[in-house]
Amino acid sequence: MHKMIPLMTLVMSGSLLMAAANVTLQQAALQRGAAQSREVVLTLEAAEAVFGLQFDLRYNPQELEFNGARTLLPEFAFDYRDKGNGVIRGLLYNLAGTPIQAEALMDIIGFDFTPIAGFTGASALTFDDLILAGQRGVEIPVAASPGGVNTAAGPVETRLADCWPNPFNPVTTIKYDLAREGAVSIAVYDLRGRLLTELVNTVQPAGSYRLQWDAGSYASGVYWLRFVGPDYSKSQKLLLVK
């Protein structure tokens, strides 16, 4: 159980505004009958700086087991508490007062769930009391999109998504889907084609995956990410800016 820290006092705007931010829970897919856990990612896109985020997340405890959650922003802390009856209260904050700048879609929190034994199908995740705090505690109007965990099917195609952020410093996130089980290789090369690091080299079951490359020990410049999966391969240019 994590200790909750009160969010800053919010100042309610005196007029109704169009949503200035979007918070979305992604869908996580598992192979039918699979019992492994899967991370559901909360993403944020906002037209202005966000200084804090507080919410209640609802799930069905008859269908999913909640294993924990983590911040995907190293400079931000995330405290949460499972209140029981399928409600998780979460608070994302930065004591230094540094805001989240999310003009483009940004992954901010990961929630880990495992389907209850015997459950197959789609299980929904929804928000209650979602609050975004802007500068000087002014509440930011927000639109929320629900997500869930789907055990009925896995990805329909093998693909590598665009790494984000890119340009980056020094960590970028790599996401990919496997439509079927097979050998997967993910490696990083320099501009001369020299292998710098191998991030993945193993056989993986069908599903959706994510990992991070920390390039803190490398110099600024252009690098190439090479992905090879079942019946699919792709190269992607990465720009490290320090």
Mean pLDDT across 154-183: 88
Say whether 159-240 and 21-150 share the same fold.
Answer: yes
Mean pLDDT across 1-6: 35
Give 70-91 pLDDT, tens digit per residue.
999 988 999 999 999 999 999 9
Structure tokens, 234: 């792709």
**Does the structure show a pLDDT above 80 at 11?**
no
Exposure on the CB side of residue 202, measured as CA atoms within 13 A:
5
Q: What is the pLDDT of residue 10?
A: 30
CATH of 21-150, one of 1.10.3720.10, 3.40.50.10470, 2.60.40.680, 3.30.9.10: 2.60.40.680
CATH of 159-240, one of 3.90.1150.10, 3.30.70.100, 1.10.3720.10, 2.60.40.1930: 2.60.40.1930
Say how far apart CA 84 and CA 58 lie, in whole Å. Answer: 10
Domain spans in the chain, listed from the N-terminal domain onward: 21-150, 159-240
Q: Which of 10-14, 33-37, 47-51, 192-196 has the highest mean pLDDT?
A: 192-196
Q: Which of 107-121, 129-143, 171-185, 224-238 has the highest mean pLDDT?
A: 224-238
Question: Where do we find the tokens 């995330």?
Answer: 78
Contacts of 138 (CB under 8 A, 6+ apart): 10, 11, 13
Residue 18 pLDDT level (bands cut at 50, 70, 90): very low
**Does the structure show a pLDDT above 80 at 171?**
yes
Residue 82 neighbours by CB distance under 10 Å: 17
Q: What is the pLDDT of residue 76?
A: 92
Mean pLDDT across 195-209: 91
pTM for the structure as a whole: 0.59
More confident residue, 58 or 24: 58
Q: What is the pLDDT of residue 9?
A: 30
Mean pLDDT across 217-235: 96
